[in-house]
Structure 1
Amino acid sequence: MKTLALAVALGLLAALQAQDPLALFQGEEDITGTWYTKAMVADKALPEGKRPRKVFPMTVTALGDGSLEATITFQKKGQCHKKTFVLQKTEQPGEYTALGGTKRVWVERLPASGHHTFYCEHQQQGRTLRMAKLMGRNPDPSPEALEEFKEFAQRKGFLQEHMLTPEQEERCVPASS
């Protein structure tokens, strides 16, 4: 479950890294605010017990130094957990690093209004782990955005059968014992 939470967190971070938070002041698109995970894909399929059944909104905040702060919520063993990550701006437009530079995140706007891909690569024990997420400004399904995300995932070499479309929840409610 820790692996799943990390994968979800990293996927969200990756999406945030591709946009420049200073762009808010330069007339470019603002990616701060609330984002909803509509689909996700990783290098390999997650085992049935480790797949997220429910996902919760992510909040992105621009920090004064050009970096971003992403706050995610996830459920583990019936309990709600909140994690906050800082994405440091790099010299490359739309690219950020996190976790001491072991993770790189890129955010790419899709043609479907209000949708972006959050793509991340994470170095762990000599291996590169990759994940991408389709994120939207609202929780409503968008067949157009999903098709665009599938094309993005194919270009990045992800397998279609590894794609998940988890259930959206507005907030995490702990499971009763």
Structure 2
Amino acid sequence: MKALLLTAVLGLVAALSLALEHQDLSGTWYVKAMVTDKDLQKENKFQKVFPVRVTILDDRDMEVTITFMKEDKCHQKTILMQKTDEPGKYTGYEGRKFLQVQKLLGTDDFVFYCEDRSHGRLHRMAKIMGRSSVTADPRALEEFKKFVQRKGFPEGAIFMPTQTESCAPAQ
């Protein structure tokens, strides 16, 4: 019985991995909820967020364009993330940046989990991302809470930033 259950679970994991492998993540994504490391939250950088543009390239690498405010000016940055051998996982900047994309079961939303190792420190962030700016589905939020706890973030640190449509980058 245990062997049958293990086989079924492994089959489901393989099917989900294959589905994510062939999922086209290209398009505009909206932040619905997020959590960051404590020192990033203190800076209040993420109270207002902008849509993220994702392009999957021919070699399955991912180009991510983010927009953010810094010193009251709008900035845009494009990051190239290389696909790893594991479905849904990408690295960039010579391994200093890590991105894991995971579909939230029973919803149309995804978790985008990022790690950035720079200046001798590790900064982590997880977001519920969706293709529409509609508020996160309650099921997605429950799955996100479980994901966040597994990654070691305090559940109470989850917040819903204000989604802003766009801003013009500084010249």
Asked if TM exceeds 0.5, the reply is: yes
Which runs of 5 or more structure 1 residues have no equivalent in the other structure? Answer: 1-18
| 1:157 corresponds to which of 142, 145, 152 | 152
Residue 86 of structure 2: aligned partner = 92
Which runs of 5 or more structure 2 residues have no equivalent in the other structure? Answer: 1-16
Determine if the alignment matches structure 1 residue 83 to structure 2 residue 73: no
Where relative contact order (Cα < 8 A, 6+ residues apart) is larger, the structure is 1
Give, in angstroms, the shift of residue 127 of structure 1: 3.7
Figure out how many residues of one structure are paired with residues of the other and give that number.
151
Q: Indicate the percent of aligned positions where both proteins have the same amino acid.
A: 48
Highest CA radius of gyration, 1 or 2?
2
| 1:169 corresponds to which of 161, 164, 169 | 164
Give, in angstroms, the shift of residue 29 of structure 1: 1.9
Residue 123 of structure 1: aligned partner = 117
* DSSP-derived class of the 1:101 partner: coil
Query: Partners of 2:131 and 2:95 in 1: how far apart?
Result: 28
Letter in 2 for 1:82: Q
Letter in 2 for 1:62: I
Letter in 2 for 1:88: Q
Change (3 A) 1:64 1:116: same
Determine if the alignment matches structure 1 residue 114 to structure 2 residue 108: yes
Query: Given the two structures, how large is their TM-score scaled by the length of structure 2?
Result: 0.78
Contact 2:24–2:56 (CA under 8 A) maintained in structure 1: no
Query: Partners of 1:86 and 1:54 in 2: how far apart?
Result: 24
Contact 1:43–1:159 (CA under 8 A) maintained in structure 2: no
| 1:139 corresponds to which of 133, 147, 150 | 133
Aligned-residue CA RMSD (Å): 2.3
* DSSP-derived class of the 2:75 partner: strand
